[in-house]
A and B are shown apart, each in its own frame.
Chain A
């Protein structure tokens, strides 16, 4: 499938478990981003990556780990999930120098019990 995809779309897990959310894009975009969306907070940037093997923290990185070994994939890992990480997570990508024009995936709804 062309575009940007996220998996799983829905996930329920328990406190303390490790969870990995996947993001895959077929455009060979250099930039990729992870956001979380919560009521009352809007979308907040967790991590972003300018290219393979280059990642940087966003506004709310604590409790999350990212990696980018391949341009097309940008997984987000919650090493020990907490209830406060219950949220909808969006992945996005963009062309080099065009971090302002981001294309968003459909989102992953994560519930931590």
Chain B
């Protein structure tokens, strides 16, 4: 059974600092990995999807890396803003389903 772990569970950073969120998974036989954002009381919004053959994916201030062999992914958010405050979820796909981590709850302090 795929286990997905996200560390740290919660963090606060001052505005302008770079954010680094970590995700690890136990089974490296994944199809791809996604990072989602969830605002309080809302659904999930897909931020980045990295195919298993890729090493990283970038969108604006967001960059996600994937190291399948070590079972790790990192989400970098450059120059954080208060609007980046949210919960970030990592999910790995395989066997026609997604396995989610518990999330990184981020607060960016103005």
Contact surface of A with B, Cβ cutoff 8 Å: 31, 33, 35, 40-45, 48, 50, 58, 90, 99-107, 109
- Which of chain A's residues have a CB closer than 8 A to the CB of B91? 43
A99 touches B43 (CB 8 A): no
B43 touches A106 (CB 8 A): yes
B49 touches A101 (CB 8 A): yes
**19 additional contacts (CB under 8 A) given A44-B100, A104-B43:** A33-B97, A35-B100, A40-B102, A41-B102, A42-B4, A43-B91, A43-B100, A45-B97, A48-B97, A58-B97, A90-B43, A100-B34, A101-B34, A101-B49, A102-B98, A103-B46, A104-B45, A105-B43, A107-B42
Distance, CA A109 to CA B102, complexed state (A): 18
Which B residue's beta carbon lies closest to that of A33? Answer: B97
Contact surface of B with A, Cβ cutoff 8 Å: 4, 31-32, 34, 41-46, 49, 89, 91, 93, 96-98, 100-103
Contacts A42-B89, A42-B103, A43-B89 given: A99-B44 contact, CB under 8 Å? no
Please list the 5 inter-chain residue pairs (A to B) with the smallest Cβ-Cβ separation, ordered nearest first.
A100-B93, A42-B102, A99-B96, A43-B100, A104-B44
A interface, over-half SS: strand
